[in-house]
Structure 1
Amino acid sequence: MNLLSKAKNEWWEWTKALLIAVSLAALIRFFLFTPIVVDGLSMMPTLQNGDRMIVSKMDYKLSSPKRFDVVVFHAPEQKDYIKRVIGLPGDSIEFKDDQLYINNTLIDEPYLEGYKVQLSNGKLTEDFSLDQIIGQSIVPEGELFVMGDNRRFSKDSRHIGTVPIEEVVGSTSFVFWPIQEIRLIDR
């Protein structure tokens, strides 16, 4: 084998390896995981503006969303939103006296405790019922009721209505950037 033939063969092997690597990366990103950047303050104190996270696209191919999952979904404004699942299909939702009620049961929201302390002179959000927001007493089949943790400054189901489950990209619970903030978030 001459030197030119050997160089061509080595070039071809490197090209194949590069094509395989790019193809695998594209498949993983398209079907399994994708990064997302938190844009805004609607999930504070759980998530900060600029946090970078990994979205698992497979979670809801194998199971259904669970209450308090943090999900990414396609919003009506052609943007992806990050919010917390509060209501599942068939749930009644009410917020009164700064407390969340699901199916007439008071719900503890430990992920908001630090934020509530900061709001010593105010409420998380105004009182509401699901009926006032969407004109129905329960979350419709195939849809979710989502809210940001920063209830005062979150555009969520109180404004855009319930979210069709097919619009959910996936769940996210791993912050990978900034490095000093690497963590799993609480449900």
Structure 2
Amino acid sequence: MNHSAKKELLSWIKSFFVAVFLVFICRQFLFSPTTVLGASMSPTFENGNKVILNKQGKIDRFDMIVFHAPDSKENNYIKRVIGLPGDKISFKDDVLYVNGQAYKESYLEENKKNSTLAKITEDFTLEEKTGDNKVPEGYYFVMGDNRLKSKDSRDFGFIRKKSIVGKVVLRFYPLSEFGSP
């Protein structure tokens, strides 16, 4: 092999390792793919949907996040952020109240329409569910969109900020639903 061919091969090898290193850094610290399992976020996400998580983004109310399940070491859950640190949460007559202000949860309309029940979210206050009257600093209150079939903060309490894997920013499968959820 002549000298220029060796240089070309070495250049390709260096480029390959730099690309692998950059992919590793991006996946480890910036973005990560994951698969939705279960029906707790239906119809927003269905079982088997594939999404991309932003691991660095700021978490806002109504963002969908993936976090380490507090009741299982092997699983992660995907839920919607309802309460931020310092928020007081309550539900009355299927209406969400955050710090006394009513919020319309348009993402629940399909579930409400398809339910035979008068309401899909039982009445409660944060204190009744968690023993605290507001979300503590460094924690979040999360719920699934499929309120009747979701295991969420109503069951296992607040989610630690450090247990959050990332915020959902893109659905890439199925391709017919590609885009921002």
TM-score by length of 2: 0.92
Aligned partner of 2:115 among 102, 114, 119: 119
Q: Distance in 2 between matches of 1:86 and 1:22?
A: 37
User: SS where residue 85 of structure 2 aligns?
Assistant: coil
Q: Which blocks of at least 5 consecutive residues in structure 2 are unaligned?
A: none
1:44 deviates by: 0.7
Q: 1:75 and 2:69 equivalent? A: yes
Aligned ranges 1:61-100 → 2 under 5 Å: 65-76=59-70, 77-78=72-73, 79-100=75-96
Partner residue, 1:158: 154
Q: Percent identity?
A: 47
* Amino acid of the structure 2 residue aligned with 1:38: V
Structure 1 residue 80: Cα displacement: 1.7
Indicate the residue corresponding to 1:16 in structure 2: 14
Paired residue type of 1:155 = K
Q: 1:59 aligns with which of 57, 61, 64?
A: 57
Separation of aligned partners in 2, 1:58 and 1:90: 21
Q: Kindly tell me: are residues 143 and 51 of structure 1, through their superposed partners in 2, closer, same or farther at Cα, counting changes over 3 Å?
A: same
Equivalent of 2:139, from 138, 143, 154? 143
CA RMSD of aligned residues (A): 1.5
What SS is found at the alignment partner of 2:62? coil
Please report the TM-score for the alignment, with normalisation by the length of structure 1. Answer: 0.89
Q: Distance in 2 between matches of 1:167 and 1:17?
A: 35
1:170 is paired with a residue of what secondary structure? strand
Q: Higher mean Cα deviation, 32-41 or 68-77?
A: 68-77
Once the two structures are TM-superposed, the CA of residue 169 in structure 1 deviates from its matched residue by 1.9
| Structure 1 gap ranges (5+) | none
Task: Work out the CA distance in 1 between the residues paired with 2:37 and 2:129.
Answer: 25
SS of residue in 2 equivalent to 1:14: helix
Give the Cα–Cα distance (whole angstroms) in 2 for the partners of residues 110 and 181 of structure 1: 18
Q: Cα offset for 1:7?
A: 4.3
Return the offset for 1:122: 4.3
In 1: Cα distance, 2:162 partner to 2:121 partner: 28
Instruction: Please state if 1:104 is matched with 2:71.
Output: no
CA distance in 1, matches of 2:40, 2:96: 17
Counterpart of 2:25 in 1: which secondary structure?
helix
